[in-house]
Structure 1
Amino acid sequence: MKITPVDIAHKGFNKKMFGLDESEVNDFLQQVASTMEDLIHERNSLKELVREKELQLNDYKDSDHVLKSTISTAGQMVDRLRVDAEREAKLIINDAQQKAEMITRDSRDSLKKAYQEISDMKRLRLQFEANLKALAQAHLALVEQGEKFMPSINLPQAYDAPENNTANSVLRSSAVSPLSIT
Structure 2
Amino acid sequence: MRITPLDIRQKTFEKNFRGYEKDEVNAFLLSLSQEWERIVDENKELRIKLESTEREVTKLREVESSLYKTLKTAEDTGANVIEQARMAADLHLKESQMRADGMLNEAKVKARNTIEDSDMRAKEILAEMEDRLKMLVENYKQMEATRDDLLTNIRHIASDALDRVERSRVAIKEFDPDKHLSMAKREAKRVAFPNQVDIERPSRAEMRAEIRPEPIVIEKEVVLEQQTTTIRVEAPPAKKVQRSFFDEIG
Band the TM-score falls in, shorter-chain normalisation? 0.3 to 0.5
Greater fraction strand: 2
TM-score by length of 2: 0.32
Q: TM-score scaled by structure 1?
A: 0.42
User: When you count helix as a share of all residues, which structure comes out higher?
Assistant: 1
